Amino acid sequence: MRLHSDIESTLDKSPELLELASWKRSVKKASNLIIGHLTINEKPSILPEKLKKIIVGHGGTSYISENSFQNKQEVLFDALDNVLLSNSKNSRPTNEIDEKNKSILYNITDEIYTEIDSKLNSWFHFIINPTPIEQSKIAPGLICIYEDAELVKNYSLIDDEKLSDFLKYQIEKKSEDDSALNFKNIVLLLTRPCDIAQNKYGKNLKLLSGLKIINPVRKGGESQKRFDLKRNSSQPDSLKILDHLFFSEKEDDVVLMFDFRYAFSVSKESFIKDFKKIKIISKELLSEIQVEYSSYSSRLGTTQII
């Protein structure tokens, strides 16, 4: 009885926990539904054949001869995650929303006053890797650091004339504050997931160049803390900026900036040897960037009559 009373007291103080618990139940119900469908009334020999078909269907025919068991497991779990995501929507509760949540949680106004949660924000952007990414790994959406002098000379954004005013401002402000601003040249692996899965990308992998900016200059209150990029010019439409990101306890405020004008290709061997893998972005974000890049690349130019 005392435990029940303590639970009731906690829920009274934080009724939004009811919503999180409902979400958890819907995920569990959906996963049970999927497992039940795969295993019910099946001969023991049928289930592994079904799962094999899922691995090849989701990961591509290259997995027929792939020797890495971990890679095959990752593909299987990724496929099941997709089924779970689709079906959890159908298992959500239909019970009446608590009155306190109507007046507090779902009463959303123009301003939401809370500090930015960069770690949670990163969970929306990146695939969580509990261990360091294997440097031999090739996966769509990989973000890598590069330091090769020739690549830096040709593809780094730091000395681009169109961006120099913005980046110069960041550097100058940090100098005034006597604090360190850390730039890293990065790339995003843009090659299509299906091409990588089926080993159809040819000789080269397609990369999009960008910058990782640690501890950037910001402006605004705690609920905004905008990345202070602009001085007097408008932001170039070739930029894709991902703000308020968490990489580690020492890098808990990071901005990623990509420029659609700087796409290039390297061989698989060069990608493995010269690029340090640090993160993998989510499939949804990768698709968004690929669409925006495609749209930017396919725009018609403007003819000027002189």
pLDDT tens-place string over residues 143-194: 999 999 999 999 999 888 878 776 776 766 655 554 555 789 999 999 987 7
Give the percent of the chain with pLDDT over 90: 28
Distance CA 303, CA 290 (A): 27
Q: Which region among 41-45, 68-72, 176-180, 225-229 has the lowest average model confidence (pLDDT)?
A: 176-180
Instruction: Give the model's pLDDT for residue 155.
Output: 94
Higher pLDDT, 89 or 235: 89
Listed in sequence order, the residues at least 6 apart from 77 whose beta carbon sits closer than 8 Å to its beta carbon are none
Instruction: Give the model's pLDDT for residue 265.
Output: 95
Distance CA 160, CA 164 (A): 6
Q: Which region among 12-16, 255-259, 276-280, 285-289 has the lowest average model confidence (pLDDT)?
A: 12-16
Domain range summary for the chain, segments of one domain joined by +: 2-103, 118-297
Instruction: Give the model's pLDDT for residue 205.
Output: 95
Average pLDDT of the segment spanning 67-92: 84
Higher pLDDT, 169 or 280: 280
H or E element that contains 234: none
Most confident of 64-68, 84-88, 186-190: 186-190
Higher pLDDT, 159 or 8: 159
Instruction: Give the model's pLDDT for residue 104.
Output: 79
* Relative orientation angle of helices 2-13 and 16-39, to the nearest 10 degrees: 110
Average pLDDT of the segment spanning 22-26: 87
What is each CA distance from 294 to 51, 267, 298, in whole angstroms?
35, 22, 6
- With b meaning 16 or more CB within 10 Å and e meaning fewer, what string describes 140-176? bbbbbebeeeebeeebbbeebeebeebbebbeebbee
Q: What is the pTM of this model?
A: 0.77
Most confident of 59-68, 170-179, 269-278: 269-278
Distance CA 179, CA 171 (A): 10
Instruction: Give the model's pLDDT for residue 262.
Output: 95
Question: Per DSSP, which regions of the chain are E strands?
Answer: 142-146, 182-189, 204-214, 218-219, 226-227, 239-245, 254-267, 275-280
Q: In this structure, are residues 93 and 253 in contact, taking their beta carbons and an 8 Å threshold?
A: no
Distance CA 229, CA 256 (A): 12
Instruction: Give the model's pLDDT for residue 249.
Output: 87
Listed in sequence order, the residues at least 6 apart from 27 whose beta carbon sits closer than 8 Å to its beta carbon are 84, 88, 91
